[in-house]
Structure 1
Amino acid sequence: MNKYKKLFNNSIIFAIGNLGSKLMQFIMVPLYSFTLTTSEFGKTDIITTIISLLSPLVSLEIYDAVFRFAMDKSENKKVVLNSGLVITLLSSIVILLLGFVLNLFSFFKGYCLVLDCFLLVCTIFYSLISNYVRAIGYSKPFAIAGVINTFIMAGMNVVLLYFWKMGVAGYVISMIVGLLIGSLYLLTTGIRKDINLRYFNRSVTVRMFIYSLPLIPNSLSWWINSTSDRLFILAMVGVSANGLYAMANKIPNAVTILTNIFYQSWQISAVEEYDNKNAREFITNVFNVFTYILLIGSILILMFIRPFFKILIDPSYYSAWRITPLVLWSLIYSSISGFLGTIYTATKKTGEIFITTVYGAIVNIVASLVFIKLFGIYGAALANAISFLVVLAVRYYHLYVNGRISFNIKNIIFLHLVFFGYSAIVLVTSSNILTIIFGIVVIALIAMSEWNKIKSIFHIDIKIK
């Protein structure tokens, strides 16, 4: 199968499994706005932010190593899985013990610490199993598990938040149940027979750890880039402001639907195609298409963000829509940085990806301290965008110098002008109708400018098999 078609077909499979689940997450946004106060919603955002920080740290990023090593034909997949499983089990025991101890301190009151620790354990187990399933080619079960996870979580949210009024605790319990049932489904796909701790191999574990070791500080640096803004806002502005900022991020996160679906197939293609003679052309073509899709998705969000907040979101959150353009810039830059980062992991050179992320983290800390003080929650979004731009620029330059990707400055300037221009229209124009019309025109122009390139890469006669 043509490598572009394979990437496209894998993306379709993951999209079928993920779009429904992600759509359900957006349907839940109005429920959160009406059942959680801005303070409570701010707490749930802090909890998920901390979980995203801790999961790669406490698991030693072993689930990424499991994915990468399980894709190598020379590796025994059962050994890879069970070596990762032993590390995850040991980490889970430490997490739960520490959670029960810390729960005795009044500082953590209101944050459901024991439940949070269970959520952390469920998160790293689900990450381990799902990465293994994807690496061995079980794409459809991987996608189905994502749907199960989200729909179960959504159903539990309705019951625990709307009917039982459980607040923050109900939100956390919903996530735990969703991950547990999603993990149990994956175990029924046939990988259960691969689980036997007697396959644990010390030398393989050491090699996996050497691979994942730079990814641990990289995850910390990436977290600083992408989510530490919540903590800065919490400390410098307040928990209610963090709730507004969290809501402002909810809808733009639709961009991550596209990127997460794509990453799931792109990681596989990047590993398989990296050493081929036409790798540079392949990476460049996919990069260009990916960038334009990101831009179109972001413009679609801007077209409808104001009426969405006006009609479906509680009035106390309405002002948050104005942060959307900056949030989208940050998400675009972070998504492209993640795309380029996958190229590093394809060769197992994880040390280089860590260095590039550190540059962004340093910029993010300095920019957050300055801009949040000056512009409040708008400053947080601006700091994020700048830090991810730094990461993107360093990675792109390094890959360009090493002959892995081509450089087209005209495209980059064009993308920035288009998005800046349309963002200004959205913020200045009071008419939703005009905003939508301008958005349709801009998307049409972008699509026409890139149609010949997309057609030559994927061919218009593609048929999904």
Structure 2
Amino acid sequence: MKLPQKYKTLLSNTGLLFIGTFGSKMISFIMLPFYTSWLSIEDFGTSDVINVYSTILVSIVSLCIAEAVFVIPTGRNKEDQRHFFSSSLFFAMFCTITLLVLYVVVALFKGESTASYVSNIGYITLLSATTIYMSIAQQFCKCINKIKVYAIAGLINTLCVALLGFVLIKTFGLLGYIMSLVIANVVALVYVFIRARLRTFVSLSAVSWQHLKEMLKYSIPLIPNSIIWLIVNYVNRPIMETSMGMAAIGLFSLANRFPTLITTVYNNFSNAWQISVLQEYGKDSYENFYNRICVTVFVGLCICVSIISIVIGPIIHLLFNENYYAAIVYIPFLCLSTPFVALSSIVGANFTATKQSKYFFYSSIWAAGSAVLCNSILIPILGLWGVCVSCIISFWVGTLVRILYARKIVRLKWGYIYISISLLTILTLFVPFNSFTLLIVLIEIVICYFLYKNKC
């Protein structure tokens, strides 16, 4: 049976993004034993906090302009695209100035504060500035269909961090780690400009307030949504820092690398999925296409979670020193949130296609509220177990609400598939490694096959 072109396009884009991003994450994963041996568990936790605050700053200061650089110019003629890209780079210069002002203010008035944000403001500012430019350039590559360049840039970025790590991190510790991230951003940015010939899209005369305003009109409503999802993902850090200290954040940071690896691999598909949704939305076959993708991705990720619950113990003992062995029990439960993150992303692409960004905001409010409430209550009582439970609840709530809003656009079918597979996956986390666990994984695979074949 010949595969329809829309599926070929989706698979092709996914494959290109997978090669780049999965390669990047595999390099990062391979480097983890080195990072954890070069950095103390406290410094490892501090590096995680710096990345978290940098991510938050990028979203706020840049007004989420990178998201608009992908969506708004897509399908326009080259001259329009040149106006959009030049205007976005001009706006990035103002973002850099804003970051510098913030650095000066915090540096002058920090007093005796020992908060991680204050003491590391220089690292956070520098990393945020380079990330803004890199994000704009990469997202524009997707807009002009330079998917290969987008993917390879991520690979180059991570490879630079790894190679520089052997010199900088080993010698300068935490400072070396941050410098390797900044230098890698610059190197990858140069590659993107050269390989995608972005210079042809840059001109001072092409800077246009009208084009910038069109992008900001789309991106500004995304800011609350972005901040809210940052709260969902990162509100646990300051609570952990206050309740348990940097060592606990370091332990959590390692445990969280595994669900992050899964989510990053999925994001290759998500980027390709966004492109396909923009191309396919509005066609008669879209609802069936959408439901095929939802059920396949969700079940596939649930199977991954079940397998991780089996193999994670030997992996941690093989790769890391004994200071990190305590992370083993938390990893499968943190991974349990990844199928819901993926489903939420797939559903949310409908809001992008219809330019209904308000639904990102509405659904994220629910997720953020549950995250703040659960983390505030559970972390002081349960410690890292409270973090795990809060992650699962907040992502589950956000996904469910997003599905309900998306029903106004396209209906998600076969809900019982998601419920049955979720329960089976949760069961694998509570049983020891034996034939029963493998049987559950096999059942998940069989259910996926027959329901997909008969229903999708």
Q: Distance in 2 between matches of 1:282 and 1:225?
A: 30
SS in 2 for 1:60: coil
Q: Distance in 2 between matches of 1:145 and 1:27?
A: 19
Match of residue 194, structure 1, among 181, 197, 201: 201
Match of residue 168, structure 2, among 137, 155, 160: 160
Partner letter of residue 366 of structure 1? L
Kindly report which structure 2 residues correspond to 1:48-87, keeping only aligned pairs within 5 A, or say none: 48-73=51-76, 76-87=80-91
SS in 1 for 2:267: helix
Partner letter of residue 45 of structure 2? G
SS in 1 for 2:337: helix
Say whether 1:245 aligns with 2:252. Answer: yes
Say whether 1:171 aligns with 2:177. Answer: yes
Say whether 1:39 aligns with 2:46. Answer: no
Say whether 1:91 aligns with 2:95. Answer: yes
Q: Distance in 2 between matches of 1:415 and 1:394?
A: 19
Per-residue displacement from partner, 1:338-397 (whole Å, max 9, x unpaired)? 222222112111112111101111111111111112211110121121111111111112
SS in 2 for 1:107: coil
TM-score scaled by length of structure 1:
0.91
Shift of residue 451 of structure 1? 3.0
Give the corresponding residue for 1:461.
none
SS in 2 for 1:251: helix
Per-residue displacement from partner, 1:207-244 (whole Å, max 9, x unpaired)? 21111111111111000111211121111221111111
Say whether 1:422 aligns with 2:428. Answer: yes
Per-residue displacement from partner, 1:91-148 (whole Å, max 9, x unpaired)? 1122123224423435368754323211101111110000000111001111111110
Give the corresponding residue for 1:20.
23
User: Residues 67 and 262 from structure 1, CA distance in 2 versus in 1: closer, same or farther, beyond 3 angstroms?
Assistant: same
Say whether 1:354 aligns with 2:361. Answer: yes
SS in 1 for 2:166: helix
SS in 2 for 1:407: coil
Give the corresponding residue for 2:313.
306
Give the corresponding residue for 2:188.
182
Which sections of structure 2, spanning at least 5 residues, go unmatched? none
Contact persistence 2:50–2:123 (CA under 8 A): no
Match of residue 131, structure 1, among 128, 131, 139: 139
Q: Distance in 1 between matches of 2:38 and 2:404?
A: 47
Contact persistence 1:149–1:181 (CA under 8 A): yes
Percent identical: 27
Contact persistence 1:4–1:457 (CA under 8 A): no
Give the corresponding residue for 1:462.
none
Partner letter of residue 27 of structure 1? I
RMSD across aligned positions (CA): 2.1
Give the corresponding residue for 2:217.
210
Contact persistence 1:122–1:176 (CA under 8 A): yes
Match of residue 442, structure 2, among 436, 441, 444: 444
Q: Distance in 2 between matches of 1:239 and 1:339?
A: 34
User: Residues 354 and 403 from structure 1, CA distance in 2 versus in 1: closer, same or farther, beyond 3 angstroms?
Assistant: closer
Contact persistence 2:168–2:177 (CA under 8 A): yes
Decide which moves more: 192-201 or 94-103.
94-103
SS in 1 for 2:428: helix
TM-score scaled by length of structure 2:
0.93
- Say how many residue pairs are matched: 447
Shift of residue 438 of structure 1? 5.1
Per-residue displacement from partner, 1:155-199 (whole Å, max 9, x unpaired)? 11122223x1x1211111111111111110000121111111211
Q: Distance in 2 between matches of 1:272 and 1:439?
A: 41
